[in-house]
């Protein structure tokens, strides 16, 4: 053994390198399976809340929302247990904080615009990966594939939101997992798998299969939410409800009134012509 190296410290434990729950973006977060529970995204094994969205992405609203964006937050545990009040036998729980990371956006008139994508994500600040927009395409089997394109370190305050000089990079690609499946496999730019969507019926899970930095995981989970929103907003039911709103039938009373007014107007016009 080299005498200059035999007293070097051994490598740190894996748990210290992974840094579960750490805010430091340089530490890798371990694989985890996430479960979408309404507006909360939980660790499927412990039910601990990890993320939150401001409204559902898997159900259609009863009335069209006034805004076309959804707030995406990471739920952080500061690991500080508040002091127990005197005389209280109840154990106090650690404090949870919601950190706003992204806005998920789907403009209502996106199909008529060319200046912004139909589905995109903007960052609150430069501590996240940047702004992301979806590029969609159809596979040979006519299934939708998603490419999440990154404009690094841009935020919701930047204009334009996305790099127009061709300097966007592919952050993730989501493709249907199998021929008959509606679930998706997520890969990185180099083609390596990072996550697989799972679940039965209305259950939505994302199994993250590889360690990644905190900011990359945040972007992956936000992109997952945006894909589910796309699936909901572009569904046949959503298109049918939108068409029904645009072609809402006129009530019998309104139609009768319209005919009466129209008839009186015709008589008035005839009288004016006869004079």
Does residue 196 form part of some domain?
Answer: no
Distance in angstroms (rounded) separating the CA atoms of residues 60 and 229: 9
Whether the upstream peptide bond of residue 91 has omega within 30° of 0, thus cis, is no
DSSP string covering 141-205:
TS-EEEEEEEEET--TTSSSSS-SSS--EEEEEEEESSSS---EEEE-TTS-EEEEEE-STT--E
Does residue 114 form part of some domain?
Answer: yes
Q: Give the contacts of 215 (CB within 8 A, at least 6 positions apart).
A: 25, 127, 128, 129
Q: What is the pLDDT of residue 239?
A: 82
Does residue 128 form part of some domain?
Answer: yes
Distance in angstroms (rounded) separating the CA atoms of residues 253 and 205: 50
Does residue 140 form part of some domain?
Answer: yes
Q: How many domains does the chain have?
A: 1
Q: What is the pLDDT of residue 194?
A: 98
Q: What is the pLDDT of residue 115?
A: 85
Distance in angstroms (rounded) separating the CA atoms of residues 130 and 163: 11
Place of tokens 């789907």: 106
Identify the CA nearest to 127 among candidates 105, 152, 150.
152
pLDDT (tens place) for every residue of the chain, 275 residues total? 444 444 344 444 434 443 444 444 458 999 999 999 999 999 999 999 999 999 999 998 887 777 789 999 999 987 654 555 555 555 566 688 999 999 999 998 887 888 889 999 999 999 999 999 999 998 777 789 999 999 999 999 999 999 987 789 999 999 997 766 668 999 999 999 999 998 787 899 999 999 999 999 999 999 999 999 999 999 888 888 877 777 766 444 554 544 554 444 444 444 444 44
Does residue 229 form part of some domain?
Answer: yes
**Domain range holding 218?**
39-79+94-173+212-234
Does residue 268 form part of some domain?
Answer: no
Q: What is the pLDDT of residue 247?
A: 79
Does residue 33 form part of some domain?
Answer: no
Q: What is the pLDDT of residue 252?
A: 46
Q: What is the pLDDT of residue 251?
A: 47
Does residue 158 form part of some domain?
Answer: yes
């Amino acid at each position: 053994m080299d005498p200059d190296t035999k007293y070097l410290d051994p490598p740190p434990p894996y748990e210290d390198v992974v840094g579960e729950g750490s805010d430091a973006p340089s530490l890798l977060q371990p694989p985890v399976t996430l479960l979408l529970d309404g507006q909360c995204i939980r660790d499927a094994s412990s039910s601990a809340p990890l993320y939150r969205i401001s409204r559902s992405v898997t159900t259609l609203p009863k009335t069209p929302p006034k805004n076309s964006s959804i707030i995406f937050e990471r739920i952080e545990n500061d690991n500080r247990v508040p002091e127990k009040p005197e005389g209280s036998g109840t154990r106090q729980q650690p404090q949870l904080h919601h950190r706003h990371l992204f806005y998920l956006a789907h403009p209502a008139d996106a199909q008529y615009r060319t200046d912004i994508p139909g589905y995109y994500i903007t960052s609150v600040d430069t501590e996240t990966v940047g702004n992301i927009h979806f590029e969609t395409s159809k596979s040979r089997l006519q299934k939708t594939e998603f490419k999440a394109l990154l404009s690094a370190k841009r935020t919701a305050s930047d204009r334009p939101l996305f790099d127009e000089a061709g300097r966007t990079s592919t952050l993730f690609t989501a493709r249907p997992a199998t021929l008959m499946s509606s679930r998706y496999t997520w890969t990185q730019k180099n083609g390596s798998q990072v996550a697989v969507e799972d679940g039965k019926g209305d259950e939505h899970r994302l199994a993250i299969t590889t360690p990644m930095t905190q900011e990359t995981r945040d972007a992956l989970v936000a992109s997952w939410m945006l894909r589910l929103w796309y699936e909901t907003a572009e569904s046949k039911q959503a298109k049918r409800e939108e068409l029904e709103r645009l072609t809402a039938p006129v009530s019998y009373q309104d139609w009768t009134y319209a005919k009466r007014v129209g008839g009186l107007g015709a008589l008035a016009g005839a009288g004016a012509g006869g004079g």
